[in-house]
């Protein structure tokens, strides 16, 4: 076995001279340094996400049904459609209507954008209450203005007639 002496006077084993020549060229060295820098940044970002809690690993979902068992029947309070989300309790809807009604009465002197947002939320909860109590309404189809305000008032009266309590206890 014959030792090969490299440029710096160091000895290499047989066949190592060619590898040293290839690795000694500047494009290869530049590529290796770039690859190490990219890999280092990727590992740093991965570690940062892992330690800050922003890394979301995919959770495998396994759906296993026991043989001979049917899926549970929907509760009587839930929706009959398979994809429909469950409805909120009527008490929660009524509480939201009372809260938004008070806020709407107080926001009359505030900004127009805030009032429009509270009004839209009030309309959404009114429509939810109407759907829960199966009261027909045309609130979604009416344009903003007097016609929508009249439909809103008509719907509030229809909901109160259906048994929804919108006024809090006075005392």
pLDDT at 155: 92
- Residue from 26, 31, 24 nearest 8 by CA: 24
What gap in Å lies between CA 7 and CA 20, rounded to an integer? Answer: 10
DSSP tag of 107 = G
pLDDT at 139: 86
pLDDT at 47: 87
Retrieve residue 74's tokens.
Answer: 């929907």
Retrieve residue 141's tokens.
Answer: 């189809």
pLDDT at 74: 46
pLDDT at 171: 42
pTM of the model: 0.50
Phi/psi of residue 12, nearest 5 degrees: -120, 160
Q: Can you tell me which residue has the tokens 């439909």?
A: 151
The per-residue pLDDT string of the chain (171 residues; one tens digit each, 9 = 90 and over) reads 455 555 655 555 666 666 667 667 888 888 989 999 999 999 999 888 888 877 776 666 666 666 665 555 544 444 455 566 788 888 999 999 999 988 888 877 778 888 888 899 999 999 999 998 989 988 888 888 899 999 999 999 999 998 888 876 654
Are 20 and 6 in contact by the 8 Å Cβ rule? The answer is yes
Phi/psi of residue 58, nearest 5 degrees: -65, 130
**Nearest-5° Cα angle at 83, 79 to 88:** 40
pLDDT at 77: 47
Q: Where are the beta strands (DSSP E) in the chain?
A: 4-5, 11-12
pLDDT at 43: 94
């Amino acid at each position: 076995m014959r030792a090969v002496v490299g440029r710096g006077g160091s000895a290499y084993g047989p066949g190592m001279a060619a590898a040293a020549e290839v690795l000694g060229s500047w494009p290869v060295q530049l590529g290796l340094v770039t690859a190490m820098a990219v890999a280092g940044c990727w590992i740093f970002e991965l570690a940062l996400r892992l330690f800050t809690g922003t890394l979301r690993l995919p959770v495998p979902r396994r759906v296993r049904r026991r043989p001979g068992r049917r899926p549970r029947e929907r509760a009587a309070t839930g929706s009959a459609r398979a994809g429909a989300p469950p409805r909120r309790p009527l008490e929660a809807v009524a509480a939201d209507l009372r809260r938004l009604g008070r806020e709407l009465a107080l926001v009359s002197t505030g900004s127009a954008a805030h009032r429009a947002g509270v009004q839209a939320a009030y309309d959404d909860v009114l429509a939810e209450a109407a759907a829960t109590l199966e009261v027909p309404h045309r609130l979604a189809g009416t344009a903003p203005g007097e016609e929508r305000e009249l439909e809103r008032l008509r719907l509030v009266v229809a909901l109160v007639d259906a048994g929804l309590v919108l006024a809090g206890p006075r005392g």
